[in-house]
Chain A
Amino acid sequence: MIPLLAQAANPIVRWEYFIDEWDQIRRALVEHLELTVYAVALGLIVSAGLAAIALRYRWMVTPINGFTAFLYTIPSVALFGILVPYFGLSRLSAVLPLAAYTLLILVTNIVAGFNSVSPEVREAADGMGMTPARRVFQVELPLAMPYIIAGLRIAVVSTVGLVTVAAIIGQGGLGRLILDGLRRTFWTPMTIGSSLSILLALALDGLILLGGRWLTPWAQRGRGVL
C-alpha cells in the first residue's frame, strides 16, 4: 500500500464512525463514567476512614501517608494485572486499583482540611457545649470542605485518565476505543476515545467545582481555597 493512500484512508476522524458505532461509543462513555464514579466513591469512603484514623491518632499520619504513597507508585498496568487472578476481568479488578490511586490525594487533603480548622473555632465549639460528633459534622467538616473539594477534583480528573488503562483487562470505557484504534492502526476510535475522555474529565471537574461553590458559599466571599 502506498503510504500516502493509507494516510488518506485513515484520517484523524471519520465522522461516519460516530453514526455507525454510536452504540459502542455511548456504552464506552457510560462505562467510563461509572468506573470513575465507583472508583472515586470507594476511594473517598476509604480515605475518610484513613483520614479519621490519622486525625485521631497523630502517629498514624506517617504510616498512612507511606502506605497511600506506596500504592500510588505502583505502575497502573501492573496493578490492574495483579488483581485479575483474584477477581478475573471484572469491573472490580478495574475499580480497586483506580480507587487505590485516589487515596494519596484524598487522604492528604481531608487531613489538611481538618487541620485547617483553627483551634479557636474548635475551642468555641466545645465551649458552647457541642458534642464531638456535632462539632465534626457541623463545624469541622464544612470548614474542611474546600480542601476536600480540591482533592476530589484532582482525584476525579486523574481517575478519568487512568480508567483508559483499565482497557488492558477488558474494562476501561473509552480506553477500549483507544486500544481498539491502536491495535488496528485506525485513528478514528483513538481520537474519539481520547477526546471524549478529556471532555469527560473537564465536565466532571466543572461539575465538582460548581457543587463545591454551592456547598461553601462563605469561602467565595472571604478568603477561600477554591
Chain B
Amino acid sequence: MLIGPSGCGKTTTLRMINRLIEPTSGRIVINGEDVTQRPVAELRREIGYVIQQVGLFPHQTIANNIATVPKMLGWDKQRISDRIGELASLVGLESAMLDRYPDELSGGQQQRVGVARALAADPPVLLMDEPFGAVDPIVRTRLQDELLELQARVGKTIVLVTHDIDEALKIADRIALLNVGGILEQYSSADELLAQPANEFVEEFVGEDRSVKRLQLRTVADLPFQQGPVVPVTAGAQAARDAMRDYSSEWFGVTSQGEFLGWVHGDDLEDDTPLESAPRSVPAAQLEPESTLRNAMQVIMTSHTSVAVVDDGGRFGGVVTLEQIRASLEAEIAR
C-alpha cells in the first residue's frame, strides 16, 4: 500500500511497475525478472491495472470490457465467456449487466467492472491507483470490504495507492508512507506505523487518534478469553457473590446452556431464591468475535455494566472490558 500527500510520487511509483513511466534508475523485479527487460505490452498483460476514473471503454459492452486482455492473449471464445461469467459473480455483477454499456452503470458498478477487467487473465500482480476515490463514502466502504473478501479468495500481490490513511490501515498488510519528493518515511505494518511512527511527519500524517486507530486493526477474538463475573443459571447465590468479588463488579451475568441470559445487579441477589428468577434488569451489550476493538469500545461506552458480552454464534464467549482493550495496546505490535 502506497500512501502519502499529493506530489509524493505514489502514483509515479505505481506506474513505474507496469512501465507507464519508465524508471530512470533502480530495478523493479517481479518473480525474479526485471520489468524493464520484458516487452512492455506482454508485461502489462500480466499486471492487472485499476485506476480511479475506472477508464472503461464506453463503446464496448461490460462483457467486452472484461474480455480485453483475454482477447489480446488469444483465448478462445468459450474460455473467454466462461471467464466473464466467473468474474461477474466474483465481483458481484448481475449477468444482466454484461450486455450493457459502461454509461448505463453506477459508479460503484463501474468500479467492480474495472476490478473484474483487471483480474480477467488472472494476473499475479494487481496495481490499483486510488480505486475507490471516485465513489461516495458508503459505496467506498462496501467496495473496500469486497476487496478484502476478494483478496482472501484470490490471493494476489496488490499494490494500491491511496491518500486516505483509514483506507490504508483497513486494507494494507504493509504500508509505505511517502513524503513530497518521493522520500520514503516509513515502511511497516499498519499497527507498527501507528504504534511506532518513525518521525514527526509520520506521526502527523496518521493523526492524533493513533491509539484509537490501532483498535480498528484488532478484533475481539484477539483478546485473551475472560470469563468475567458470569455464572451458570444453575449455580447458587454464593457462586454469584464470589464471581462479583473476583471481578470487583456490582453485576453478575447468568448463562443457560452456554447462552447468555442477562445481567443481575448484586442488590437483587437473595439467598433463598434461585438465580433463575433473579431480575435480569440490563440486557447484554453484545459483540461478535469479528468486531473490531474500536467497535467494542463504542459498545462498552454505552453499556450500563461497562462490559460487553461476546456472542460467538449464539454462545457465550466471554466478556470484554475497557481495561482489556487498553492492555491490548501495550501488547506486542502486530507486524
Contact = CB atoms under 8 A, between A and B. Distances in A.
Contacts of A143: 57-59
B170 interface: no
B57 A121 contact: yes
Given A123-B20, A129-B42, A218 B51 contact: no
Would you list the 6 A-B pairs with minimal beta carbon distance, nearest first? A124-B55, A222-B103, A129-B44, A127-B49, A120-B55, A129-B45
B231 interface: no
Contacts of B55: 118, 120-125, 127
Interface in B111-128: 117-118, 127
Nearest to B42: A129
Contact of A127 (B18, B58, B102): B18
Interface in A209-226: 216, 218-219, 221-223
A142 interface: yes
Contacts of A142: 59
A223 B104 CA distance: 10
Contacts of A34: none
Nearest to A145: B59
Contacts of B60: 218
A118 B56 CA distance: 10
A130 B127 CA distance: 16
B65 to A, nearest CB: 9
A157 B101 CA distance: 32
A215 to B, nearest CB: 10
Q: Name the interface size band of chain A.
A: 20 to 34
Interface magnitude class on chain B = 20 to 34
Given A218-B101, A222-B103, A129 B56 contact: no
Interface in A96-150: 118, 120-131, 134, 139, 142-143, 145
A129 B72 contact: yes
B306 interface: no
B169 interface: no
A145 B18 CA distance: 30
Contact of A221 (B43, B103, B117): B103
A139 B57 contact: yes
B53 interface: yes
Contact of B104 (A120, A121, A222): A222
B54 interface: yes
B220 interface: no
Contacts of A126: 20, 44
Interface string B92-110: 0000000011111000000
B10 to A, nearest CB: 16
A131 to B, nearest CB: 5
Interface of A: 118, 120-131, 134, 139, 142-143, 145, 216, 218-219, 221-223
Given A127-B20, A129-B43, A130-B41, A120 B59 contact: no
Nearest to B44: A129
5 contacts: A123-B20, A125-B55, A127-B44, A129-B41, A221-B101
Given A129-B41, A129-B69, A124 B51 contact: yes
Nearest to A121: B55
A120 B56 CA distance: 8
A210 to B, nearest CB: 18
Given A121-B55, A128-B49, A143-B59, 19 more contacts: A124-B54, A125-B55, A125-B57, A126-B44, A127-B18, A127-B55, A128-B69, A128-B72, A129-B40, A129-B41, A129-B43, A129-B44, A129-B72, A130-B72, A131-B41, A139-B59, A143-B57, A218-B60, A219-B59
A166 to B, nearest CB: 38
A124 B56 contact: yes
Contact of A124 (B41, B45, B46, B49): B49
A128 B68 CA distance: 8
Nearest to A134: B72
A218 B118 CA distance: 22
A218 to B, nearest CB: 5
A223 B103 CA distance: 8
Contacts of A129: 40-46, 69, 72
Contacts of B59: 139, 142-143, 145, 216, 218-219
B53 A120 contact: yes
A43 to B, nearest CB: 25
A126 B18 CA distance: 10
A120 B11 CA distance: 14
A221 B104 contact: yes
Contacts of A128: 44-45, 49, 68-69, 72, 117-118
A48 to B, nearest CB: 19
Contacts of B103: 218, 221-223
Contacts of B127: 127
Contacts of B101: 218, 221-222
A122 B58 CA distance: 12
A69 B328 CA distance: 75
Nearest to B118: A128
B16 to A, nearest CB: 12
Contacts of A218: 58-60, 101, 103
Nearest to A143: B59
